[in-house]
Amino acid sequence: MSLSVATMLKDGQSYMQTWPMEKALYALFPECRVVAVTRLMVKVAPPLAILSCAALLQYYGSGYLPQAITIAAFFLSLPLQGLMWLGHRSNQELPPALKAWYLEIHARMREQGCKLHAIKAKPRYKELAQMLKTAFEELDRVFTKNWF
């Protein structure tokens, strides 16, 4: 199933907002690092693009306009690359070991009385993110500390 670029960017944005940024998850999933860097680059990349472009043109002159545009485009593409990766990752199915972990946590959260979406036959990372976000928001720290 191939997705359009716009769909992947939209999925990446929603996945970035859904993923819980908890210390316990940093060692287990690369999403925490990708989300942190993508959020940073959304803030920092546009000023860096303008600054690098202006500095190159100021120092070397208008003869280096193609190089300046290329460098600016590179800096502006960095947050898009992060969002594309997150969008692609959110639609991937969980591997078997992670799927078993997902099902186990889902069952335990149901026992605790959490309102969760129904279990999907082939869960994806976006369902895992929603479940983990619910776990960290609704359950007390003792329960989450035992699982993570």
Model pLDDT for residues 41-53, shown as the tens digit of each residue:
999 999 999 999 9
Distance CA 76, CA 53 (A): 11
Residue 111's pLDDT is: 84
Distance CA 60, CA 72 (A): 15
- List the structure tokens of 101: 């972990």
- Residue 135, pLDDT > 90, answer no
Distance CA 77, CA 52 (A): 14
Q: Where are the domains of the chain?
A: 1-91, 93-143
| pLDDT band at residue 147 under the 50/70/90 scheme | low
Look at residues 47, 44, 51, 41 and name the one whose alpha carbon lies nearest to residue 80. 41
- List the structure tokens of 38: 């993508």
Q: Name which of 59-68, 110-119, 129-138 the model is least confident about.
A: 110-119
What integer is the mean pLDDT of 9-17?
96
CA dihedral 88, 20, 94, 24 (to 10 degrees): 130
Question: What is the overall mean pLDDT for the chain?
Answer: 90
Residue whose token pair is 């300046």? 68
Distance CA 135, CA 148 (A): 11
Look at residues 7, 31, 2 and name the one whose alpha carbon lies nearest to residue 87. 7
Phi, psi of 93 (to 5 degrees): -75, 150
Residue 94's pLDDT is: 95
Residue 18's pLDDT is: 95
What integer is the mean pLDDT of 93-113?
89
